[in-house]
Structure 1
Amino acid sequence: MNIQDLIRQNIKALKPYSSARDEFQGVTDDMVFLDANENPFQNGVNRYPDPQQHNVKLLLSKIKNVATQNILLGNGSDEVLDLLFRAFCEPHQDNIITLPPTYGMYEVLANINAVDSIKVNLSERFEPKVDEILSVANKNSKLLFLCSPNNPSGNSFKTSDIETLLNRFKGLVIIDEAYIDFSDEASWLEKLPLYPNLVITQTLSKAYGMAGIRLGICYASADIISVLNRIKAPYNVNELTQLRAIERLEKEEEVAKEIEAIKAQRNLLITELKSIDFISKIYPTDANFVMVKVDDANKRYTQLIEKGIVIRNRTTQPGCENALRLTVGTLEENTKLIKTLVALQAV
């Protein structure tokens, strides 16, 4: 596959904006900055941030064993996904393929970018229908989105299915690994060099507990990253986000302990949910949430809201009739949830 054949023509011809801080490398403490029309009085954020986030990428490179040239950072994963649309999808011409039930922003971004969205619903077990996906794909199908572990069902897709799609789909295959840290399955990062059309997105919002700083991560070939760098905003990741990301990434042991605690709470929560009589099914999960099937999702959702517990009602999504998605909280939060559910059995 030649990635150049997938890029929009106007993006190929684009002369990217060069910010003041893009024009040199190797910042030292004694340098005098008179290039970017900044306020010279130091307050910690009076200077523009590193446009390429080198220090964050160096840490991620060490942790994930991926070269920095294969990493792009964004203002949340949503910016990363939007960049993929803008680089590879021609408005009013190209299309993407999504597999509902899945993360809703894929379709929203398609609508924003005037790109058609072809939907191939997951099977009853929430697995990709590989043959159907390949049969509906055409020469204008540029992006295929696989959310694994999947949101909202929580399951990871079979390796063999993803490999088939990577080998046979003619566009980019984006694997959204927002929840991979909670799974016992290996990340697809280790197979990145094998597939030129593979794009992996991750985030600091979930396992790293940094939802408030909005930092999304894209891993792909150097060719794809180069294209995305050409069209991203010059200073898309602010200084405070970069500093907090570095601080958190340097605490690998602490993050690992939190992940194990969440997984332990997930197992305890699943055990307790089995005793609730209006829950008829608990779906397997590799994420930090559990999807359950109840007698009446709208009723139970409203009841929990009235008790001060906010969950997610997924009953309108394909294959998710009367399904609720429960995020794994702290021991105290999970205990309150279970006690409330037990009490609602009599209602």
Structure 2
Amino acid sequence: MANSFDLTVLLRDNIRNLTPYSSARNEFKGEASVLLDANENAYGSPLDSNYNRYPDPLQQQLKVKLSGIKGVPPRNIFLGNGSDEAIDILYRAFCRPGVDNVILVPPTYGMYEVSANINDIATKKVNLTADFQLNLEGIAEAIDAHTRIIFLCSPNNPTGNSLHREDVETILANFNGLVVIDEAYINYSRQKTFIQELTEYSNLVVLQTLSKAWGLAGLRLGMAFASEEIIEIFNKIKPPYNINQATQELALKALENVDKVNGWIRETVSERDKLSAGLSALEFVLHVYPSDANFILAKTANPRPIYDYLVERSVIVRDRSKVELCEGCLRITVGTPDENKLLMDALGEFAFAR
């Protein structure tokens, strides 16, 4: 692998030549007392709010707020309807259907493959090693002239571990396509984010979300951090008003609560350690994998009876036993102390009933 990254070569011709839709809010951005340019309902909204007006298409106020928290200029931030929108745009911008391919490293987040299939993009899979780390030699062998993107998830879902930073840096320095690092769970990790490396690696795209640590899964607000040139491509392709007004307002309000969120993170990490210890003490749990996320992957000899027993007691975990390299595994989200106690009590009852 040798990095000779050139964004203009990577970009699809139809996207390079695309004239993006220009909305009314793109063409006029100032203040005015009479707005008759966007065919909105001039009488207002039944909700007694400003929802009769289209939202800021580029979410500038929200990006400025995020910039102060993340330490990244607003011009390097894209906001999407969940991280899934950013993933889909990456395929549509840089991968030619039926021609190009991407590299995935299973087990990993399933939407990379689903979105590839939707966009008719081939996937090359290079499994993680037995300890869920990157197989650098295998990745190097899989790369060909049509490989456009390598997707990496760190901390990884469903395994919970962070990828070795030096391995990720090796790929960034030597691959001439895009390297996408999905950091949905970074707030719970011992490792620092890669967003501070954007100036060093022009082929880097970092995905984050407000769904996890920020507790805003219902708002569907994802973030992509990249060079200004890449962000401009995202904005060229996205629907004109992809983030609705209510989401922008609620996210701004939530971002005022950094201290509260940091408290939740500390408690989650503490509960994660307690839960890991408790699971490890159970006879039927063969191994608890180290986690940098807000969930734990636990290996058992026969996960289905455990899963079914918990369902009967209204405790729902995720059976990941059919996922590659996760045979026999249950993925358990770290809950509140009370929820974790209910889980452990139910598992104790299962052990006694065996």
Provide the TM-score with structure 2 as the length reference.
Answer: 0.96
SS of the residue 1:326 aligns to: strand
SS of the residue 1:193 aligns to: coil
- Give the alignment partner of residue 41 of structure 2, picking from 39, 42, 65: 39
Q: Which moved more, 1:209-218 or 1:306-315?
A: 306-315
- Matches of residues 287-298 of structure 1 in structure 2 within 5 Å? 287-298=293-304
Q: Check the 8 A contact 2:303/2:319 in 1, yes or no.
A: yes
SS of the residue 1:97 aligns to: strand
Q: Where does structure 2 lack aligned partners over 5 or more consecutive residues?
A: none
Deviation at 1:235, TM superposition (A): 0.2
- Give the alignment partner of residue 77 of structure 1, picking from 75, 78, 83: 83
Residue 341 (structure 2) pairs with residue 335 (structure 1): yes
User: 2:143 maps to which residue?
Assistant: 137
User: 1:6 maps to which residue?
Assistant: 10
Q: Which moved more, 1:40-49 or 1:171-180?
A: 40-49
Q: Check the 8 A contact 1:134/1:168 in 2, yes or no.
A: no
Q: Which moved more, 1:17-26 or 1:97-106?
A: 17-26
Across the aligned residues of Structure 1 and Structure 2, the Cα RMSD in angstroms comes to 0.9
Q: Once the two structures are superposed, what CA deviation does each residue of 1:89-143 show, in whole Å capped at 9, x if it has no partner?
A: 1000011110000000000000000000110000000001011101111111111
- Matches of residues 106-255 of structure 1 in structure 2 within 5 Å? 106-255=112-261
Q: Check the 8 A contact 1:141/1:170 in 2, yes or no.
A: no
Q: Distance in 2 between matches of 1:170 and 1:205?
A: 31
Q: Distance in 1 between matches of 2:249 and 2:182?
A: 25
Q: Check the 8 A contact 1:204/1:216 in 2, yes or no.
A: yes
Q: Distance in 1 between matches of 2:172 and 2:316?
A: 38
Q: Check the 8 A contact 2:209/2:221 in 1, yes or no.
A: yes
Amino acid at match of 1:186: K
Deviation at 1:86, TM superposition (A): 0.5
Deviation at 1:24, TM superposition (A): 2.6
SS of the residue 2:199 aligns to: helix
Q: Once the two structures are superposed, what CA deviation does each residue of 1:301-335 show, in whole Å capped at 9, x if it has no partner?
A: 11211211111111111111100000000111000
Q: Check the 8 A contact 1:304/1:310 in 2, yes or no.
A: yes
Amino acid at match of 1:118: K
Residue 329 (structure 2) pairs with residue 319 (structure 1): no
Percent of aligned pairs with the same residue? 47
Amino acid at match of 1:62: G
Q: Check the 8 A contact 1:22/1:51 in 2, yes or no.
A: yes
SS of the residue 1:194 aligns to: coil
Deviation at 1:250, TM superposition (A): 1.2
Q: Distance in 2 between matches of 1:300 and 1:98?
A: 30
Q: Distance in 2 between matches of 1:219 and 1:3?
A: 16
Q: Check the 8 A contact 2:6/2:176 in 1, yes or no.
A: no
Q: Which runs of 4+ in 1 moved over 4 A?
A: none
Q: Distance in 1 between matches of 2:181 and 2:11?
A: 19
Q: Distance in 1 between matches of 2:134 and 2:312?
A: 37
Deviation at 1:169, TM superposition (A): 1.4
Q: Distance in 2 between matches of 1:31 and 1:288?
A: 47
Q: Check the 8 A contact 2:84/2:111 in 1, yes or no.
A: yes
Provide the TM-score with structure 1 as the length reference.
Answer: 0.98
Q: Once the two structures are superposed, what CA deviation does each residue of 1:56-109 show, in whole Å capped at 9, x if it has no partner?
A: 100111111101110000001101110111000100001111000000000000
- Give the alignment partner of residue 263 of structure 1, picking from 251, 260, 269: 269
Q: Once the two structures are superposed, what CA deviation does each residue of 1:236-289 show, in whole Å capped at 9, x if it has no partner?
A: 000111011101111111111111111111111112112211001000000000
Q: Distance in 1 between matches of 2:304 and 2:173?
A: 41
Q: Check the 8 A contact 1:297/1:323 in 2, yes or no.
A: yes
SS of the residue 1:103 aligns to: coil
Q: Distance in 2 between matches of 1:31 and 1:290?
A: 54
Deviation at 1:225, TM superposition (A): 0.5
Q: Check the 8 A contact 1:203/1:215 in 2, yes or no.
A: yes
Q: Check the 8 A contact 2:319/2:331 in 1, yes or no.
A: yes
Deviation at 1:31, TM superposition (A): 2.9
Amino acid at match of 2:307: Y
User: 1:65 maps to which residue?
Assistant: 71
